[in-house]
Amino acid sequence: MERKEISQAVVKRLPRYYRYLGELMESGVERISSNELSERMKVTASQIRQDLNNFGGFGQQGYGYNVKYLYTEIAKILGIDQNHNMIIIGAGNLGQAIANYANFEKRGFVVKGLFDVNPRLEGVTVRGIEIRNIDCMPEFIKEHNIEIAALTIPKAKAIEMAEQAVACGVKAIWNFAHTDLNLSPEIIVENVHLSESLMRISYNIAKMERNNK
Amino acid sequence: MERKEISQAVVKRLPRYYRYLGELMESGVERISSNELSERMKVTASQIRQDLNNFGGFGQQGYGYNVKYLYTEIAKILGIDQNHNMIIIGAGNLGQAIANYANFEKRGFVVKGLFDVNPRLEGVTVRGIEIRNIDCMPEFIKEHNIEIAALTIPKAKAIEMAEQAVACGVKAIWNFAHTDLNLSPEIIVENVHLSESLMRISYNIAKMERNNK
């Protein structure tokens, strides 16, 4: 079946559906109506029906959606029905936190290696994954078919490291460094700018205080 | 001066302006034209003029914008012209990574305390901040005028901890737990769902592969 492209707005909502459906499966729920799902997710039932119809998730009147079927379909669309090999560049606290988080692996994101410039970290293992010297990275990427590089280093070296990883064949950068990477457009860049996230909080606090005056 | 509310779309772009203006200041640049800024930020000059006009950042023809003025104005709008006291609930790798990141403090987000259930972590310090038992949290929030709680614990306890922090007066939750909190609407919740961020990457990899077939 030719799959028509799903709108970005729907794609953005899919991980949340996926999470709720996963929780339903864990609690043994096999079918759910759009109304029940609506109540749990605090989204209107008509929005749910519209979103899920996009990929053949047609609920049956009085019978509801097949939870497992939807879960599997969404996994396919999100590309998490297959494994993606990942490395982490920068084995500081944040890099180690990501390496330690076993749930990523359950969703198919397999951390194959951790790299750092700090020689004192070399040979240390995090959840069984060895920290290697950054000089070993290019060869490692090619040998292990790495698709994703998480960039958890300060901004000074971020662009250089990203370019190096891309030159070795990495398709996507998960960028935690506080800088824009400006890579070529066919490279996928997903930014996690934590300080921007904090600023949205302070903006909302300031706004709330203005409104309360 | 009465400040009219700025649209959410503009607000979302402000942290990025703030970052670029900060870098310009660091390199000693005092004035910049919308064209130069446009080239650096890869945004059209007309978008920049429109955005900055929202808060009186009027560039002068042939003279450009006053970098420091804009920087200060944006800081005010974003509420980072004043300090915000923060605690971190969960002193695992991620909690410690956040506590360690001194740059948040430069922007006014001051980590006052770290809390964990693990008794072995008690008394350990991260960047001079002591890890305390979670039972001390309620009193600590009240005593230290804590506005923001970062939630870096697994989802099982996340909702309970968030509710407890809110009951003690916290205004905003910076939620890293993989769950929705469903707090009362006047509480600010900023979600950082890392696995959703990863799924956007795998979605884009899968899409790229479909297109290349």
Nearest chain A residue (CA) to B102: A195
Q: Which of residues 117-136 of A touch B (CB under 8 A)?
A: none
Q: Is the pTM for the entire model greater than 0.95?
A: no
Q: How far A104 CA sits from the closest chain B CA (Å)?
A: 7
Q: How far A156 CA sits from the closest chain B CA (Å)?
A: 12
* Backbone dihedral angles phi then psi of residue A200, each to the nearest 5 degrees: -65, -35
To which residue do tokens 């996690």 refer?
A192
At B14 the pLDDT is 94
Any A CB within 8 A of B58 CB = no
- Mean pLDDT, chain B, rounded, equals 92
From the CB of residue B128, how many other CB atoms can be counted at a distance below 10 Å? 7
Instruction: Report pLDDT digits (tens) over B107-152.
Output: 999 999 999 999 999 999 999 999 999 999 999 999 999 999 999 9
Instruction: Report pLDDT digits (tens) over A135-173.
Output: 999 999 999 999 999 999 999 999 999 999 999 999 999
- A chain contacts of residue B103, beta-carbon cutoff 8 Å: 178, 195
Any A CB within 8 A of B101 CB = yes
Check: CB of residue B94 under 8 Å from CB of residue A94.
yes
Q: How far A201 CA sits from the closest chain B CA (Å)?
A: 7
Check: CB of residue A162 under 8 Å from CB of residue A169.
no
ipTM: 0.92
B156 to each of A106, B134, B180, how far by Cα in Å? Answer: 18, 15, 11
Question: Does the pLDDT of residue B44 top 60, yes or no?
Answer: yes
- Sorted by sequence, the CB contacts under 8 Å of residue B4 that are 6+ apart come out as none
Instruction: Report pLDDT digits (tens) over B166-210.
Output: 999 999 999 999 999 999 999 999 999 999 999 999 999 999 988
Which residue among A188, A196, A204 places its CB closest to the CB of B201? A188
Which residue among B19, B188, B194 places its CB closest to the CB of A201? B188
At A64 the pLDDT is 86
At A4 the pLDDT is 63
